[in-house]
Structure 1
Amino acid sequence: MSTPQGPAANGAFDLTDPALLDDPHGGFARMRERAPMVRGTVPGAGTPVWLVTRYDDVKTVLGDTRFVNDPAHVPGRGVENIREQVIRARGIPPEYARYVLDGILDADGEDHIRLRRLVSRAFTARRVAELRPRVAEIAEDLLDRLPAAAEDGVADLMEHFAYPLPITVICELVGIPEEDRPRWREWGAALFAPDPAGFGAVLRDMVGHIEELIVRRRAAPGDDLLTGLVHVHDEDGDRLGDAELVTMVLTLVLAGHETTAHLIGNGTAALLAHPGQLALLRREPELMPRAVHELMRWCGPVHLTRTRYAAEDVEIGGMTVRRGEAVVAVLAGANRDPRVFDDPDRLDITREPDGQREDHVGFGHGLHYCLGAALARQEGEVALAALLRRFPHLALAVPPGDLPRQPLPGMWRLARLPLRL
């Protein structure tokens, strides 16, 4: 396995370095032990960022209101928006940029709270628990069909289970008709492809499709989240604007299935590569909730957060982030920080959090903690439990090191997961 050679000539770590993409946990560990913060370059952006990798420092960046998502909220100076740089590099037309720049993920303070309140009731612990029987039903149906998708006894779990399960769940919740869901799968794959060619056209098609769905819901309301959002928009545009409505649907559907699919994929691959942990989970299935937390810590699909900006000078680990400077929190570095986790590189499904809540930061932290975390955990629990129960002889069809991964900075995603059933 190749080893990252350290920062480039300009002193900044290149997040697209093939060696880092090949071994991100090792690379982020070296950054973490080098200094509390190191300089890094974001693909498509000319402005360097601070990379924060240590657990306590990551929680500070994510939980301290002195760090904002929108650089316009940095007082007293014009700050370059790094996400705008990335979007321009990806060829997104300016008229569509707002749909990926001005949503709930990028809002700060009261704007974020306003948008979050509009959808948070759909993701409460009670509502998620009510969805569990339906999630289980979808999982069982997909597993019924999995053997038929196999060739010579080998099936791709990503294609036939890990993706279809969460996209079906979130589409039913939001109100995306069944006949339209294959398009969302294609759009999601295109948006997360390493090559940005066609990104603008894909975004245009998605926005157009959502606008069509809004028209349909006005004519024929349903029992779904989209109907509720359309009602809020039409009754009180100050609570939800035109672009915000489209962006909310776009964000919910994409975020609601992409990361969960890769939690299921990464988690399955990790368990099959650790037979002792797999055997323990089969013997003690009541460990499943704890196992999903540990898998989220050990091989969570999201390694980097969105860029934050210091609204004033802030000290991080004895170093100073100057007002207006950009910071990216490295979740994968924090989740394997030996200052917090004993033997952090070991997968251990019996780990217990120190307090009432999870101690990993796989779902983020602070005001922007993942809205759908409870649903993602539940889907992971249901998916893994059903898969292991239905296929007692399940095995990887290739060695763990040969599993094909997508070379995406900040993400840990399998391109395929070939399994012997």
Structure 2
Amino acid sequence: MDSTAQLHLEPAPADLHGTEGAALRAAGPVATVALPGGVVAKAVTTREAGALVLGDPRFSKDIRNWGAHARGEIPADWPLLFIVEGKGLLTTDGETHRRLRLPIQRAISPRRVQALRPRIEAIADRLLADLAAVPAEEETDLHKGFALPLPLDVICSLLGVPEEGTLRQELHELSAAAMNSEADVEEVQNTVGRRFPATLMSLIEQKRARGDRDDLTMDLVAALDEGELTEAEVIGNLVVTVIGGHETTANLICHAVKGLLTHPETLEAARAQEKAGENPWPAIVEEALRWESPSRNVMFRYATEDVDVDGAVIREGEAVLVPLPAIQRCPHAFPDPDPEVFAPDRPDVSRHLAFGFGPHRCPGASLARLEAEIALRRLFEDFPELALSSTPASRVPSLGINGYQQLPVLLR
């Protein structure tokens, strides 16, 4: 396919893998894509090109390098504009990015993450006890009842959000609204421009009044008080942490469950490993990250000069996205076995790009992995006859998030 022909990326494609993913790969290493609102960008479609765009300093996250935006060609009411115009981890490079990243990186270092294991296990056990009250043959939504509240409780605990009241649920609703690519611009501006920041500022004020100290929110506030961060940067970091800290992990858990339940031989092999004293869950989590990435498209990088990508040239000033589902089911990147198959024992599974690549790699990767491992092990221990129901799992309408609105199952 001619790479100049535009492929339209929809928020809720009918077939994410069989149609959209295949069309992107058929377009060659660099495809031209049209996003909602008529905005045109480039998409790289190979694993090597994805790593190049995510890790090479010639591709910037700073919107000032987007030629179309600088020329005034992006509509002011484009619904996705908030993603690229915000101030924070997702839109900065170099020393600014390192400065913004450091407080979060300290708060969720691998050592601190491992110290969270008992808390995560306690949350999982509480949620599974609630599920145990559901009649065995009654359909229930695993996303709502388990996969979502587990990481939401964990990240809210890290942020110091009180357990009592409705703030935790409100933060989830704001996150979901912010990532809804079908929302009109007024909804997005109300959510991201007003409600989300106001809610987070209210949280900060409450925590200051109580004298809170030992949590990630107050770490960021301390950096604000010391002049290391601006108020906009603190709010931007909190928004990214709230969304990235629970939405993607909930997706990861759901994708892993669906992968195991649609590949019963893989689930049986995992149980045999456990009986033999082995731990199959880390490999299962890695394969879930590859097979069905929790994020759909990494948006955006901007070329700061003309860059050759496998014989195709991305021009200076062009916006580039990385479509993870297309890349991670590429038969050239993951040839054996078939990339459509959920196979945790594949030799190349760790080459996935689900957490990004290079200096912008997700700082919460170790936390997401631990949460998913605990959730899956506990879930299949408590419900060994777990099965998908006949009700289909509908996807979230989002260009950024690859997840389900619900995952109907039978606990049995």
TM above 0.5: yes
Indicate whether 1:183 and 2:170 are aligned.
Answer: yes
Counterpart position of 1:267: 256
Deviates most, 312-321 or 201-210 = 201-210
Query: Matches of residues 323-338 of structure 1 in structure 2 within 5 Å?
Result: 323-338=316-331
Secondary structure at 1:267 match in 2: helix
State the AA in 1 paired with 2:345.
T
Corresponding residue number in structure 2 for 1:195: 182
Give the alignment partner of residue 12 of structure 1, picking from 1, 6, 23.
6
Match of 2:290 in 1: 297
Alpha-carbon distance between aligned partners in 2 of 1:89 and 1:218, rounded to the nearest angstrom: 36
**1:9-408 equivalent positions in 2, closer than 5 A:** 11-16=5-10, 20-44=13-37, 46-73=38-65, 79-80=68-69, 85=74, 88-90=77-79, 101-149=86-134, 153-178=138-163, 179=165, 180-197=167-184, 198-203=187-192, 204-219=194-209, 220-235=211-226, 237=227, 239-285=228-274, 286-341=279-334, 342=336, 343-353=338-348, 358-398=350-390, 402-408=392-398
CA contact (8 A) 2:68 2:74 kept: no
Q: 1:390 to 1:107 in 2, by over 3 A?
A: same
Give the superposition deviation at 1:155.
1.3
Q: 1:410/1:119 Cα in 2 relative to 1: closer, same or farther (>3 Å)? A: closer
Counterpart AA for 1:347? F
User: Quick one: distance in 2 between partners of 1:171 and 1:87?
Assistant: 33
* Residues in 1 aligned to 2:354 and 2:252: alpha-carbon distance in whole angstroms: 10
Once the 2 structures are TM-superposed, how far is the Cα of residue 406 of structure 1 from its aligned partner?
2.6
Aligned in 2, Cα 1:406/1:126: closer, same or farther, shift over 3 Å? same
Aligned length: 399
Return 5+ residue gaps in structure 1 as ranges. 1-5
Cα root mean square deviation, aligned: 2.6
Please state whether the residue corresponding to 1:307 is helix, strand or coil. Answer: strand
CA distance in 1, matches of 2:216, 2:410: 38
Structure 2 residues not aligned, in runs of 5+? none
| 1:27 CA displacement | 2.6
Q: For 2:345, what is the secondary structure of its paired residue?
A: coil
2-side partners of 1:14 and 1:30: how far apart?
Answer: 10
* CA 1:25–1:66: 2 relative to 1, 3 Å: farther
Cα gap change, 1:161/1:86 in structure 2, threshold over 3 Å: closer, same or farther?
Answer: farther
Contact kept, 8 Å, 2:179 with 2:400, in 1: the verdict is: no
Residue identity in the other structure for 1:173: L
Deviation at 1:192, TM superposition (A): 3.0
Q: Which stretch of structure 1 is more off in the superposition, 181-190 or 54-63?
A: 181-190
2:410 maps to which of 396, 399, 420: 420
Quote the Cα distance in structure 2 between the aligned partners of 1:103 and 1:257: 18
Query: Between the two proteins, what is the percent identity of the paired residues?
Result: 36
What TM-score do the two structures reach when normalised by structure 2?
0.90
TM-superposed deviation, 1:85: 4.2
CA distance, structure 2, for counterparts of residue 98 and residue 47 of structure 1: 14
Q: Deviations 1:79-133 (Å, cap 9, x if unpaired)?
A: 41699947732398xxxx5996111111111110111112201122111111111
Give the superposition deviation at 1:331: 1.6
Change (3 A) 1:271 1:215: same
TM-score computed with the length of structure 1 as normaliser: 0.88
